A and B are shown apart, each in its own frame.
Chain A
Amino acid sequence: MSTTPIDTWAVDLADVTVIYPWVGSEVAMVWIAIALWIAWHVWQVKHENAEYAEQIQKFGDSETIKKAIDGD
């Protein structure tokens, strides 16, 4: 019993094709990966917006900005 299509290496390698686990589940794996990819962007844009909002709230006063510009 193996998660891959290979149970033994006592074979002619010319007959071996795929060697990864869970052959047959590719479509499900792709959908999971696409969902994770899109979820990452959703999380990232929320995180980026929150980061800017926090920065403006903490440091967005004109005095701090003026000091930051002078320090460039």
Chain B
Amino acid sequence: MDTDIGALTIVFTEFYYWITVALMFLIHVGFCMYEVGASRRKNHMHTLMKNSMLIPLVTITWFFFGWWIYWAFAGGPGITGGIGHPVDFASGYTPWSEGMGPRLDDRISGVFWAAFLLFAWTAASIVSGAVIERIRSFAFWLFAILIGSVTWSIDAAWGWSYGGWMVELLGYHDAYASGVIHAIAGGTALGILVVLGPRLGKFAADGTPRDIQPHNAWLVCIGLFLIYTGFWGFYVACNVPLATTGYIDGLITGTTQTATTIYLTPTTLGAITVNFLMSLSGGMMVGYMVSKGDAFWTYSGGLAGIITASAGNDLYHPIQALIIGGIGTYLMYKLHFWVERKFKVDDAVGAVAVHGYAGFIGVVIAGFVLWGHPSSPYEGFAAINPIGQFLGAVIMFWVLGFIPAYILAKILHGMNLLRIPKEVELLGLDFHSNQEAEQARQDVLAGVREAHS
């Protein structure tokens, strides 16, 4: 901050991430609207609170350990380096470090912390929709902490940092988080769902799935629209806005300044803006077609289109982004209904499909389309390749997504803390409070009638 240009660069970067945080808040507003709209009237206030309370719980645990994990685990630890590899920023991000409080010699860490936190909320919120109307809030909030402050943080350290071992050894490339947010969230949701079971009445005695309609389809679609809006903040936050070759300190020569991905590989805001819109378009068009004009699946298709192309949207040609978005949407739609019929999995909002399958597919596709492109500006890192991307997708969806969630779900199920009692599910989670509200209304009416007479 001791020169005008230095100060402008720092304040610009600080403001840049701050704006992304404000925009990403809209993702959460959208998720709440969409999830409440998808639930039945008898459950919607509990559904709202279940999602909303992940905000404080993931925030404080992100402060306690999530942020530290991200900086500590890039090397495994024990795969390419120990705790804090390759540069020990982690010791500055323990919750008791002076680096976590306001200080005038570091203006960036706070907004960077918050941008990563908003990713963590998003990951947890994706899971929330899949399990509505039958999971206990206590259980869900533990899963939210698990993915928001532990497993997503590990996967980001491994595959979404400039020094991550997956980048170095596998050439893993996932610039806008097809795998590191969406595949892991889908895998986590699936791991919970197979233990949690379907909502009562979801499947007929012969196993045929029934369509449990949202109580407000319009609210669901506007919620998805808001998620699109917040997604702009998500995309922009995935970039480093202004980096010099000296800052990158890799093999790049010259003095040109550039935006980069989280891997410090050059890209531009213009590139990701066009590709965001083209992959959204591919997803919406295919979603509309494959669902024959169903609003929910058309909007979800737009989301799936972006998610599928996100792994490589820093580099794809816009037409590639369009086609990849369409392919991912088609496949996730077909997989959703196949899994529902075959395995009797009740994913209430299609979260496993839209985020998990589309994210997985997007990571794999990037391995073929970007085959041979350098994954990093640093020497010795593997280039992007199909095998590395496939292994990366498996790590995201299954190893860090499905397995930890399945184990925790089994433990909670064993303690009778996973699913709400059957009577409560039949009555509706809001039944008690609705009765009290009705009683209060009758009391007021009686008072008004008395005043009138």
Contact = CB atoms under 8 A, between A and B. Distances in A.
A30 to B, nearest CB: 5
Contacts, number: 89
Interface in B121-146: 136-138, 141-142
B424 A64 contact: no
Residue among B40, B60, B103, B427 with most chain A CB within 10 A = B427
Contacts of A33: 60, 63-64, 95
Interface in A11-65: 13-14, 16-20, 23, 26-27, 29-30, 33-34, 37, 41, 44-45, 48, 51-52, 54-56, 58-60, 64-65
A45 B138 CA distance: 6
A69 B426 contact: yes
A17 B64 contact: no
Contacts of A58: 432
Interface string B158-169: 000000000000
* Interface size range on B against A: 35 or more
A41 B138 contact: yes
A19 B426 contact: no
A7 interface: no
B contacts with A: majority SS: helix
A19 B423 contact: no
A53 to B, nearest CB: 9
A59 B64 contact: no
18 contacts: A17-B98, A19-B101, A23-B101, A26-B96, A29-B96, A30-B64, A33-B63, A37-B60, A37-B64, A41-B141, A41-B142, A48-B137, A55-B423, A55-B427, A55-B431, A56-B424, A64-B427, A68-B427
Given A19-B103, A56-B424, A68-B426, 19 more contacts: A16-B103, A17-B98, A18-B98, A18-B101, A26-B95, A26-B100, A37-B57, A37-B61, A41-B138, A41-B141, A52-B420, A55-B431, A55-B432, A56-B423, A59-B431, A60-B423, A72-B40, A72-B42, A72-B428
